[in-house]
């Protein structure tokens, strides 16, 4: 007798307006338990990382006139997946009940007897103006706000929008209104809205790609046509638009609008991406390497078996830490077996990984490179001491050779292997063609070497794209590869790299141009100034004194 499959729940989740940080905690919790995630075009793809590794991801986006799935097909899909016993997360841009057709999906589920929950999201109607420095309500200017769809159901015979009533409201927010902007302007002015009413178009709001065009009802259509202003965008009409000059905060972030390519392994890119987003940059993921286990664990397991024989354990990367402790626990050992073994880490990020295991780190050099470790050991008698270095399969021999010269007995063990990520040249090439890339960051020599393998020796970067490197070893690898290093960060930290980018930009963009960026009504001009004018002078930032 076949077991009856239990129907599961469908969560209709508002993903927010674009900034991945604006999803609700409940929305994230629902994503984490879903077997299937059905997501839309305007959903930030970063949110998909909250889904389980084995969750099925189904794209159901609608862009302009192109629909991956029609609305009735999406409705049927949700029913089908729930009846198959799956927990479904239906991830929709903004809020599902604010012109998001979430009500239609909920109706279908209810009619099919399927349990569902609505998880509200932050609608673009309020978030996008806020990121543009436009408060929808403001004492002394207006106490009334209306949200209006700029794209009604095309099957309707007659519009149900009361234009005469809308014309009397202080602030109007039109969603999906770019294509019909001419009609919107005409209806409002015909029904009494003053032609000189301040007006703003906001495209890709709350994201580093945000572009804003300001004008009046009388000229916004012409300006939009000249600038080729395209969806996704919202239209804000009202006196509150004038406050943007004073309250424009988002675009003042030091790295606003800059596209920064991260070549680190995908699992390690998030920490750098978070720092970049915080400063207004647009992180672009193009991992050139991935971390894989060594061909076998024999050497590492043997060293772990005799761990009590070592005086020092040295980690040269966070990857080495992860692999070492994975094998330590796999061999039925734990941190108690490290009693008496001193630990040295190449930098604070690596040390943090060790300390997260509840272990104190004894030594972190001032300079976060192999030479820095040797300098730190210069005052310590190593003669006869046994040292265990857990590191990548391919690495410089500066450290083990230097320690051996000091009289130490050194065992170098492969804890992990760095290999090519398998990314395609065309993926990055498309971003170059679309002028989305301003900076490429390299955090290790292996990211540089594999970047060259992917792109080819004959490849040359567009002149407008700058190269940023962490540490002299990475910078030297970039130079050998024929890349001009514009931003050189000597301290091996992600925070240091981001600060170096900020310093470089501040050095290259004059105060006059910064003012011009802030006040410009021309989004194309603003983007050119804010993301292309990096100049050519290399910048080196030192945040620690070198010995």
Q: Per the confidence metrics, is the pTM higher than 0.85? A: no
Q: How many domains does the chain have?
A: 4
Measured CA to CA, the distance from residue 223 to residue 473 in angstroms comes to: 49
Assign residue 133 a region (left: φ > 0; alpha: ψ between -120 and 50; beta: otherwise): left
So which residues are the catalytic ones?
Answer: 40, 62, 176
Q: What is the DSSP string of 202-240?
A: EESTTSTT-EEEEEETTTHHHHHHHTT--SSEEEEESGG
Look up the domain containing 301 and give its range: 292-420
At 66, is the pLDDT very low, low, confident or very high (cuts 50, 70, 90)? low
Q: Tell me: do 260 and 328 sit in the same domain.
A: no
- The answer, yes or no, to whether residue 541 has pLDDT greater than 50, is no
Measured CA to CA, the distance from residue 223 to residue 233 in angstroms comes to: 14
Cβ-proximal residues to 162 (8 Å cutoff; 6+ apart), any chain = none
3-state secondary structure at position 260: strand
Q: Work out the burial of residue 458: count CB atoms within 10 Å of its CB; fewer than 13 is exposed, 13-18 middle, 19 or more buried.
A: exposed
Q: Tell me: do 230 and 306 sit in the same domain.
A: no
Q: Is 3 within a domain?
A: no
Q: Tell me: do 79 and 23 sit in the same domain.
A: yes
Q: Is 56 within a domain?
A: yes
- Cβ atoms of 443 and 263 within 8 Å: the answer is yes
Q: Tell me: do 400 and 441 sit in the same domain.
A: no
Q: Tell me: do 354 and 408 sit in the same domain.
A: yes
Q: What CATH code is carried by the domain that includes residue 62?
A: 3.40.1010.10
**Least confident residue range of 2-11, 101-110, 222-231, 469-478:** 2-11
203-261 pLDDT tens trace? 999 999 999 999 999 999 999 999 999 988 999 999 999 999 999 999 999 999 999 99
Q: What CATH code is carried by the domain that includes residue 205?
A: 3.30.950.10
Q: What CATH code is carried by the domain that includes residue 534?
A: 3.40.50.10090
- Among 69, 98, 122, the domain-final residue is 122
- The answer, yes or no, to whether residue 267 has pLDDT greater than 90, is no
Q: Tell me: do 414 and 302 sit in the same domain.
A: yes
Give the CA distances from residue 464 to residues 22, 264, 500, in Å, rounded to whole numbers and listed in that order.
32, 22, 18
Cβ-proximal residues to 123 (8 Å cutoff; 6+ apart), any chain = 14, 17, 94, 95, 98, 147
Q: What are phi and psi of 422, to 5 degrees?
A: 85, 10
Q: Tell me: do 313 and 388 sit in the same domain.
A: yes
Q: Tell me: do 427 and 477 sit in the same domain.
A: yes
Q: Tell me: do 233 and 262 sit in the same domain.
A: no
């Amino acid at each position: 007798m076949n077991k009856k499959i239990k129907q599961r729940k469908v969560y209709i989740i508002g993903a927010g307006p674009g900034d991945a940080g604006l999803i609700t905690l409940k929305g994230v919790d629902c994503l984490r338990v879903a077997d299937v995630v059905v997501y839309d075009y305007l959903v930030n793809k970063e949110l998909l990382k909250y889904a389980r590794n084995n969750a099925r991801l189904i794209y159901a986006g609608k862009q302009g006139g192109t629909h991956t799935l029609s609305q009735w097909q999406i409705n049927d899909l949700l029913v089908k997946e729930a009846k198959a016993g799956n927990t479904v997360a239906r991830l929709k841009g903004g809020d599902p009940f604010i012109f998001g057709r979430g009500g239609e999906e909920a109706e279908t589920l209810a009619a099919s007897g399927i349990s569902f929950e609505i998880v509200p999201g932050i609608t673009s109607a309020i978030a996008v103006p806020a990121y543009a420095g436009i408060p929808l309500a403001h004492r002394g200017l207006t106490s009334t706000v209306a949200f209006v769809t700029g794209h009604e159901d095309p099957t309707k015979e007659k519009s149900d929008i009361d234009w005469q009533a809308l014309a009397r409201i202080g602030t109007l927010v039109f969603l999906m209104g770019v294509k019909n902007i001419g009609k919107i302007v005409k209806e409002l002015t015909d029904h009494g809205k003053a032609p000189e009413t301040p007006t703003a178009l906001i495209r890709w709001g709350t994201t580093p790609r945000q572009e804003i065009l300001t004008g009046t009802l009388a000229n916004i259509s012409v300006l939009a046509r000249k600038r080729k202003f395209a969806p996704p965008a919202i239209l804000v009409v009202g006196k509150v638009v004038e406050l943007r000059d004073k309250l424009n905060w988002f675009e003042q972030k030091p790295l606003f609008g800059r596209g920064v390519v991260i070549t680190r392994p995908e699992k390690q890119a998030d920490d750098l991406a978070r720092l970049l987003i915080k400063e207004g940059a647009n992180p672009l993921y193009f991992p050139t390497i991935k971390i894989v286990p060594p061909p076998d664990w024999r050497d590492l397991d043997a060293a772990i078996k005799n761990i009590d024989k070592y005086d020092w354990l040295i980690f040269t990367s966070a990857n080495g830490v992860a692999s070492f402790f994975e094998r330590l626990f796999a061999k039925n050992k734990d941190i108690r077996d490290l009693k008496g073994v001193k630990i040295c880490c190449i930098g604070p990020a690596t040390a943090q990984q060790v300390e997260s295991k509840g272990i104190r780190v004894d030594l972190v050099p001032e300079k976060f490179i192999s030479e820095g470790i040797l300098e730190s050991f210069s005052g310590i008698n190593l003669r006869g001491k046994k040292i265990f270095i857990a590191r990548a399969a391919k690495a410089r021999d500066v450290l083990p050779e230097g320690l051996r010269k000091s009289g130490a007995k050194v065992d170098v063990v492969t804890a992990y292997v760095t290999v090519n990520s398998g990314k395609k040249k065309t993926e990055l090439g498309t971003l170059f063609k679309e002028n989305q890339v301003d900076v490429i960051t390299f955090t290790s020599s292996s990211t540089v070497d594999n970047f060259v393998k992917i792109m080819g020796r004959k490849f040359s970067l567009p002149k407008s794209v700058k190269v940023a490197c962490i540490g002299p070893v990475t910078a030297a690898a970039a130079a050998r590869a024929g890349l001009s290093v514009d931003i050189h960060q000597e301290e091996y930290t992600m925070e240091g790299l981001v600060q170096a980018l900020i310093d470089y930009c501040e050095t290259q963009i004059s105060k006059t141009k910064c003012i011009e960026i802030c006040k410009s009504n021309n989004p194309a001009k603003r983007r050119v100034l804010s993301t292309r004018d990096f100049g050519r002078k290399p910048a080196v930032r030192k945040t620690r004194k070198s010995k």
